[in-house]
Structure 1
Amino acid sequence: MAHWRWIHFGHYGAQGTPGGEALGIALGRMVSGISSPVDSDRGLAARLNYLTKSDAGYEAMDRAGVHVSPRTLMAWLAEERSPNKANLARLDAAYWDLRRRNVAADLKRRLHNSGRGTRVEINPVDESRVDRKRQRGEGLRRRLSTRDVNVRDLIIWDRAVDAWMDDDQAELDDIWQQICQDHLGTDWEAYAYVDSIGWDA
């Protein structure tokens, strides 16, 4: 990764998130699912039904560490027994893991937008708590405005979704750096950290 401008980000009070992390957060917001909490009867039943409908669901439970006997699982499904707190957390993790995997292709399709790509809104870091003498300088402050860019590179979106699914933060960081370099001109390094990223895909 190239040398980014914000070597000591946050040291003087700047507020923001690494761009790659913000990219992952924005992707996560595209995934909908069960709104009821896992520790409610409705939320638990919905997650168990979703997870036990396919081999992929059982694989997701295995990845999340849900290792119980078929008899125990059947008792959960019949609402004869309830998982302990640790297994509730694992079931919730397994559910969202499976949701991510099941919607990945749809996320790529939405971001590809029939070849037109997706318009990305980049909100810059918040320097309001930084002493004026410690801020990035008058010229840079004028350039640190909200930026709108249209990312049409479909390979970028495929890579981003795959990295998000794999929790590969290093890859997301590299993808964000490439987006910045390709679309933000000579001041791209100033957007290594952002307040947020959004789109309407």
Structure 2
Amino acid sequence: MQEYALIGEGKAVSVLRGSYNTRLRLTAAVLSLAFAAAITACSSSGGTPNADPALPPSPVTTEDNATMTSSPAADSTPITIDITGQSVSAVLHNNTTARALIDQLPLTLTFRDHGGQEKIADLPAPPSLEGMPAGNDAEPLTIGYYAPEQALVLYYENVGHFKGIVRIGTFEDLAAVRDQADGFTATLDIAP
């Protein structure tokens, strides 16, 4: 007795009723072909979101359900952080908290080290948190706002996810920030 299996566009292959391994291999082959056909159909019909390079990047959703673009630099504001005469390039992202900080620039702040992983300075006025996630993570080179302390933070180590962290930008020179002693002064301003 013979069994038939359908493989791609109506082609039937005769399979002798036989070993389990033969049927397993055939099943794997049929599934592989079906998967390949589905991928081909999606790509030829334009089924991939934002496949057109002229479209903006797809939004990325974080675990906090806060949406941001996959390339924040596209809508960022370039700033400088002047640390004892050395200028560090940075950008502030296009989000509520960053825009509120931009409205306060130029700012001269005194930073202190916190936990051997970040430099932190008190802000004169708290920026808006409207629409921002309750917490986030911060990797090295992140500019953040830490809501519980109303502070601007320059992260030079990975601190993980904490409630109260709002990522608002990035800076470029890790050593220029990390190597500063407690009590250093820095001026943040819009880049010329």
TM-score past 0.5 threshold: no
Flag the structure with more relative contact order, 1 or 2, with Cα contacts below 8 A and sequence separation at least 6: 1
Provide the TM-score with structure 1 as the length reference: 0.24
Provide the TM-score with structure 2 as the length reference: 0.25
Q: Give the helix-richer structure, 1 or 2.
A: 1
Q: Give the strand-richer structure, 1 or 2.
A: 2
